[in-house]
Amino acid sequence: MEDKRPDQQIIYGIHPVLEALESGARIDRVFMEKTHKGPNIDMIRQRLKEQEIPLLFVPSYKLDRLTRKNHQGVVAMMAAIEFMDIEEIVSAVQEEGRTPFILALDGVTDVRNFGAIARTAECAGVDALLIPMKETAPINEDAIKTSSGALLRMPVCRTKNFRKTLENLKNYGLSLVSCSEKGTESIYDDVLSEATVIVMGAEGTGISDEVLKMSDHVAAIPMKGVTASLNVSVACGIILFETLRQRELGKS
């Protein structure tokens, strides 16, 4: 059964979720009670693994908040967009003779921040948005509204192994620049002119240490005030358009 809500579409119930998976429906993530067992539950978990769809175990009250109907301990959230392959996009951009411009978000889970970042990225001409499969904001109607529809106009790529995908992008010859308060370089030190992958982290936790270690540069926005940090979507806007400025200067 489907239950249309103001911000997204869901499918609830063991058999409807399994049927959706079998039919190749565009599913963003599935919530399930951890104690659930049985052949159909095992089949759902197997299909989720095969299709690389996130499975989150939650208490029953979380599912009750998603729908008041008989969910049978399983609720699937439909994806509002179709996810793309990051390596195919990078290859296509390089074949055009352009330097790829990728924005990677490490653990940004706030829907409105995510939408605002996507809006800025599309305006800045970012070729693709890269996100991890887990620990990321759902791409629902709220995110699309906040992005002013940008999420429908730009490629979004989801990866099961965020760090490994970044490593693969480096093997394609892409430069990796992580933007973090921990950075010893300034974003104004011309570190963005050749940047092809910009990594932004979540507020509070920031970019993971393993991603910072593999970065070609770790740069910070110079701060003059007492407040220690900026909202991630604001910081992202500053960095993306500074990247454009440095790239344009490099062409002259």
Q: Are residues 63 and 159 in the same domain?
A: no
215: three-class secondary structure by DSSP? coil
For the cut 80, the answer to whether the pLDDT of residue 7 exceeds it is no
Give 156's contacts (C-beta < 8 A, 6+ positions apart).
81, 83, 84, 118, 128, 129, 131, 139
Range of the domain at 185: 86-251
CATH classification of the domain holding 164: 3.40.1280.10
Query: What's at 220, amino acid-wise?
Result: A
**Nearest to residue 130, comparing CAs of 192, 81, 183, 200?**
200
* Boundary-marking domain end, from 29, 50, 78: 78
- Give the DSSP H/E element, type plus range, for residue 218: strand 217-220
Q: Grade residue 139 by pLDDT with cuts at 50, 70 and 90.
A: confident
For the cut 70, the answer to whether the pLDDT of residue 242 exceeds it is yes
Q: Are residues 115 and 224 in the same domain?
A: yes
Contact (Cβ atoms closer than 8 angstroms) between residue 109 and residue 233: no
pTM of the entire structure? 0.82
Return the residue matching tokens 């790829």.
100
201: three-class secondary structure by DSSP? strand
Q: Are residues 94 and 69 in the same domain?
A: no
Distance (Å, rounded) from C-alpha 252 to C-alpha 250? 6
Identify the pLDDT of residue 57: 92
Total structural domains within the chain: 2
